[in-house]
Amino acid sequence: MNLAWRDVQHGLGRFILTCVGLSLLLGVVMGMVGIYRGLVAEALGLVRSAGGDTWVVEAGKRGPFAESSRLPRDTRDAIAVHAGVAAAGAVVYQTVEFPYRGTNLRVFIVGAQIGRPGSEVAIEEGRAILKSRSEVVADRKTGLALGERIRIGRDDFTVVGLTANATSSGGDPVLMMTLRDAQIVQWQFDPSAVRRETARDAPAGGSSDLVSAIIVRMRPDASPDGVIGSIARWKHLTAMTAAQQEEILTRSVIERARRQLGLFAVILLVVSTVVIGLIVYTMTMDKKKAIATLKLIGAPDRVIVALILQQALAMGLVGFAIGATLIRLAKDYFPRRVVLETSDTAILLGIIFMVCLIASIFGVRSALKIDPASALGG
């Protein structure tokens, strides 16, 4: 290790620049893993925070997050009195854009019935919605301030609470309001053709009285399969467990992103391997005469191999440490949520260790081929 450290000190500037460059590559790899974890957390967050055991949607649909679903609101009343059901709540989901401070603010509206499944939200500042109209709880990423008045469509709303990390699977921050307010907003923002179709198919009593899904919380002694099977006999409904809803989200929303990010991460790791290998090879050739001298004075091959391996590992580990620090400092400035888990960091560290060992093969092979007699040359 002393030989390796002395050699690093001899070319300290180049070693530092190399580690910084490598850290950028490794930081991008860590960022991609963190973005994927963030996508998973965002996509599944709304399902898990809803507090339901079963989701009921329009027949033939996969759920409100995968495709559009419309149900009459009074479907909730029929499900709420079903055997085995402890509580049921109707919800509306809608992505809208509205003018805000000279630009358009894009949000994911969640409309829920106060006190029923689907209305749960972790308030960080302010309070939950108490009035039946004109109050909203906003995620901090919307940029809205507590007490601020905003206009959506033709109605004004007051921000009464703020939450954090509440986003849709598409990354849009959540704006929660009462079910009735969300229905009105949905009706106002739907294209006219959709409004006409909805009005034609809606039951008497109000063409805007439609919801996206019914979230069901079961009794402790109820059989989930029994309740779902019973609801499924209603021909216009499809019922699924929360776990099934998560699986649909994972397949439809996350799987493609996982493949893309995974492919880029693999490409960057391969590039990192080549870069480390070329750098180690160049460093080995630069000290060709010194290695020949070591051989001439009787240094065994293991000393030379250890010298190159230690430098390669030092380069990889220092680059990894810098990259990990940079991504942790920058993660809060990403437009999408970045989740860095300790297990992922440990796995990546192990991969970098193996990458350094593989990359050092180039330098080791070159060093072992050096003729000791070349140390006596001019």
Q: Which of 10-24, 191-205, 333-347 has the highest mean pLDDT?
A: 333-347
Position 267 scores a pLDDT of: 87
The residues with which 157 forms a beta bridge, in sequence order, are 150
Cα–Cα dist 185/189, whole Å: 6
Say how many residues make up the chain: 378
Q: Any idea what DSSP says for residue 172?
A: P
Most confident of 157-161, 291-295, 344-348: 157-161
Reading the block at residue 377, the tokens are: 């040359």
- Could you tell me if 284 and 361 are in contact, meaning their C-beta atoms sit under 8 angstroms apart? no
3-state DSSP helix/strand/coil % of the chain, to nearest 5: 55, 20, 25
Give the C-alpha distances (Å, rounded to integers) separating 132 from 128, 144, 145, 182, 214.
12, 21, 21, 11, 19
Cβ atoms of 91 and 215 within 8 Å: the answer is: yes
**Of 268, 280, 278, which is closest to residue 348 (Cα–Cα)?**
268
List of residues 6+ apart from 35 with CB closer than 8 A: 261, 334, 336, 338
d(CA 117, CA 88): 6
Distance between CA atoms of residues 361 and 375, nearest Å: 23
β-strands 85-100, 103-112 pairing: antiparallel
Band of pLDDT at residue 334, cut at 50, 70 and 90: confident
Instruction: Look up the pTM and report it.
Output: 0.73
More confident residue, 247 or 107: 107
SS3 71: strand
Q: Which two tokens stand for residue 275?
A: 């870069």
Of the pLDDT bands very low, low, confident and very high (cuts 50, 70, 90), residue 96 is very high
Give 91's pLDDT tier (boundaries 50, 70, 90): very high
State how far the Cα of 138 lies from the Cα of 93, in Å rounded to an integer.
Answer: 14
Return d(Cα 276, Cα 260) in angstroms, integer. Answer: 24
Distance CA 128, CA 275 (A): 53
- Is pLDDT at 158 greater than 90 in this prediction? yes
Helix orientation angle between 288-296 and 301-330, rounded to the nearest 10 degrees: 140
